[in-house]
Amino acid sequence: MKKQKILIIGAGGGREHAIGWKIAQSPRAGKLFFARGNAGTAELGTNLEIKEREISKLIDFAKNEKIDLTLVVADEPLALGVVDEFKKNNLRVWGPTKVAAQIEWSKAYSKNFMRKHNLPTARFEIFSNFEKAKAYLEARPPLGGLASKSSLVIKASGLALGKGVVIVKTLSESLQTLEEMMIKKVFGGAGNEVVIEEFLTGPEISIHVFSDGKTYKIFPASQDHKKIGERDTGLNTGGVGVVAPLPFMNKEMMQRIEKEIIAPTIKNLNAEEPFVGILYPGLMLTPDGPKILEFNARFGDPEAEAYMRLLDTDLLDIVDASIDGKLEEVEVRWKNKFACNVVLCSGGYPGSYEKEKIISGVCQRVSLTKDSMSKSLFDNDDDIVIFHAGTKINEREQLVTNGGRVLGVSALGNSLEEALEKAYKTIEKISFEGMQYRRDIGKKALEMIK
Ligand code: AMP
Ligand code: GLY
């Protein structure tokens, strides 16, 4: 069997480590390369000195190194058209093209797509002119029939590192937000166009599907925790904890989501431009049924960390079948377990934070196993896997922090309670100066079944 040389292009986070960790388990996986990587991916393969947005350097590397397969797994390289460039150079690549990924990188396109195809989402208006948007807010006309006193959500249309969404209650707040996005350009070009939409309420869930441009395979539902503080307080983050599958989701709700959202979305996306890769809609289960908050064209982080623990099928088989339009032939199996991933963050995150803090409690190339850095130093439980995000090895060969989200401690269990208990027990033995994490990951999901 020929082993494949594989390049993973992403943001060097826990998601990239988790995807690499899963790919490395394939009997067909050969050498792995990461652009960018972290201390965890360095152990699975080679971290390149090339950034995920340096397209021509990535292509040169793939050609010179004779890379058999490239996976593009983060929003920015997808929006820059890395997949298109690899294809143009006859390099085998997995991920949506720039046009297909537009469903994520332009919220204006995405909302218009939902309107056009009658997909359930918050009512909205789109503006590319500041004065018009301002006049709209000042008049507070009914947003598709909305009451004038309800909250509104203002979103920068482009990619804004997950920060371009602001919930506003008063007119002055909304005008200030609008000015920051459209005039002061706090999100750069991402705020040239804004979406103003209705505020929705209900539990938020993440759905992921594999798509090969023709058919799709749906994942179990998961729930991310986006706020830094317990009970969903404080600032928004990239996501600091996840659980899957969700004990409160029943078969009927999953079938409804598939019928009302997934099937029509995939069908209509493919009619415009075949979508190959992961489609990840963020949904809200409102009193009026499930509604789409946004679409992402890639794995979520930290969703990927939980999903890679649960996936029982060789990821490389799924990726290869997807590229070849043969996803229908692959049986995508999930372990009959629950998974969680609790993210350990630097003190100060999502604001400013210090780096280079020494991490203790995680194995460091001391054991002979290939993924030793994914182990806790103190217990040898296969249900626990530690995924690295902002970590690196410093000049003195010490494992140190190198980002806001530092480590993800993932665990499997026969119940969600069991998985969480294991993860938190492991976390007690890990430390670095300023370390912070939420102690209530999964709590909301568990309370819903009480
Ligand atoms: P997005 O990037 O569109 O997913 O928005 C980021 C976060 O803002 C979501 O995860 C939600 O928590 C929140 N959000 C977005 N749109 C709405 C909405 N229409 N109503 C209430 N919350 C929203
Ligand atoms: N889990 C949030 C994201 O990856 O966008």
Range with lowest mean pLDDT among 32-36, 92-96, 154-158, 380-384? 380-384
Say yes or no: CB of residue 199 within 6 Å of ligand 1: yes
Cross-strand partners of 140 = none
Domain 4-95 listed as CATH 3.40.50.20: yes
Say yes or no: CB of residue 122 within 6 Å of ligand 1: yes
Sheet containing strand 338-345, edge to edge, reads 223-224, 241-244, 338-345, 405-413, 384-388
User: What distance in angstroms lies between residue 111's CA and the mean position of ligand 2's atoms?
Assistant: 18
Cα end-to-end distance, the chain, whole Å: 50
Question: Phi and psi dihedrals of 233, rounded to 5?
Answer: -115, 165
Task: Please count the other Cβ atoms lying within 10 Å of the Cβ belonging to residue 168.
Answer: 19
- Choose which residue among 109, 124, 146, 165 to substitute to test ligand 1 binding: the one with the highest number of ligand atoms within 8 A of its C-beta: 165
**C-beta separation of 243 from 413 below 8 A:** no
Percent of the chain's residues with pLDDT above 70: 95
* Residues whose CB falls within 8 Å of the CB of residue 178, separated by 6 or more in sequence, listed in order: 130, 133, 134, 137, 154, 194
Say yes or no: CB of residue 200 within 6 Å of ligand 1: yes
Residue type at position 365: R
Secondary structure class of 393 (helix, strand, coil) = strand
User: What distance in angstroms lies between residue 165's CA and the mean position of ligand 1's atoms?
Assistant: 7
pLDDT at 24: 95
Mean pLDDT of 350-371: 79
Say yes or no: CB of residue 282 within 6 Å of ligand 1: yes
Secondary structure class of 278 (helix, strand, coil) = strand
The DSSP annotation for 4-61 comes to EEEEEES-SSHHHHHHHHHHHTSTTEEEEEEES--HHHHHHSEE-S--TT-HHHHHHH
Say yes or no: CB of residue 75 within 6 Å of ligand 2: no
Q: Whose CA is nearest to atom 16 of ligand 1?
A: 293
pTM of the model: 0.95
Taking the CA of 166 as reference, the closest ligand is 1
The CATH classification number of 204-329 equals 3.30.470.20
Burial of 331 (0-12, 13-18, 19+ CB in 10 A): exposed
pLDDT at 100: 98
Taking the CA of 151 as reference, the closest ligand is 1
Residue type at position 404: G
| Rg of the chain taking only CA atoms, in angstroms | 21
Q: Whose CA is nearest to atom 3 of ligand 2?
A: 300
The Cα-based distances of 373 to 197, 227, 279, 367, 386 in angstroms read 44, 27, 30, 9, 7
**Ligand 2 atom closest to the CA of 300, numbered from 1:** 4
H or E stretch at 113: helix 107-116
Taking the CA of 292 as reference, the closest ligand is 1
**Ligand 2 atom closest to the CA of 299, numbered from 1:** 4
Name the token pair of 210: 């594999």
Nearest C-alpha neighbor of 350 from the set 278, 436, 256, 432? 436
pLDDT in tens, 34-91: 999 999 999 999 999 999 999 999 999 999 999 999 999 999 999 999 999 999 999 9
Domain ranges of the chain: 4-95, 123-198, 204-329, 338-447
Taking the CA of 10 as reference, the closest ligand is 2
- Choose which residue among 194, 227, 293, 303 to substitute to test ligand 1 binding: the one with the highest number of ligand atoms within 8 A of its C-beta: 293
**Ligand 1 atom closest to the CA of 107, numbered from 1:** 3
Cross-strand partners of 282 = 206, 294
- Choose which residue among 298, 299, 301 to substitute to test ligand 2 binding: the one with the highest number of ligand atoms within 8 A of its C-beta: 301
User: What distance in angstroms lies between residue 301's CA and the mean position of ligand 2's atoms?
Assistant: 5
Burial of 258 (0-12, 13-18, 19+ CB in 10 A): middle
Say yes or no: CB of residue 165 within 6 Å of ligand 1: yes
Say yes or no: CB of residue 220 within 6 Å of ligand 2: no
Q: Do domains 123-198 and 338-447 have the same CATH topology?
A: no
Average pLDDT of the chain is 94
pLDDT in tens, 7-41: 999 999 999 999 999 999 999 999 999 999 999 99
pLDDT at 368: 43
β-strands 4-9, 29-35: how paired?
parallel
Say yes or no: CB of residue 204 within 6 Å of ligand 1: yes
**Ligand 2 atom closest to the CA of 206, numbered from 1:** 1
Question: For residue 302, is the peptide bond before it cis, meaning its omega torsion is within 30 degrees of 0?
Answer: yes
**Ligand 1 atom closest to the CA of 200, numbered from 1:** 20
Say yes or no: CB of residue 16 within 6 Å of ligand 2: no
Secondary structure class of 233 (helix, strand, coil) = strand
Above 90 in pLDDT, residue 138?
A: no
- Choose which residue among 153, 155, 237, 283 to substitute to test ligand 1 binding: the one with the highest number of ligand atoms within 8 A of its C-beta: 153
Fold observed for domain 338-447: Glycinamide Ribonucleotide Synthetase; Chain A, domain 4 (3.90.600)
Above 90 in pLDDT, residue 162?
A: no
**Ligand 2 atom closest to the CA of 296, numbered from 1:** 5
> What confidence tier does 171 reach under pLDDT thresholds 50, 70, 90?
confident
Fold observed for domain 123-198: Dna Ligase; domain 1 (3.30.1490)
Tally of CA atoms within 13 A in the half-sphere of 381 that contains its CB: 17
pLDDT in tens, 193-213: 999 999 999 999 999 999 999
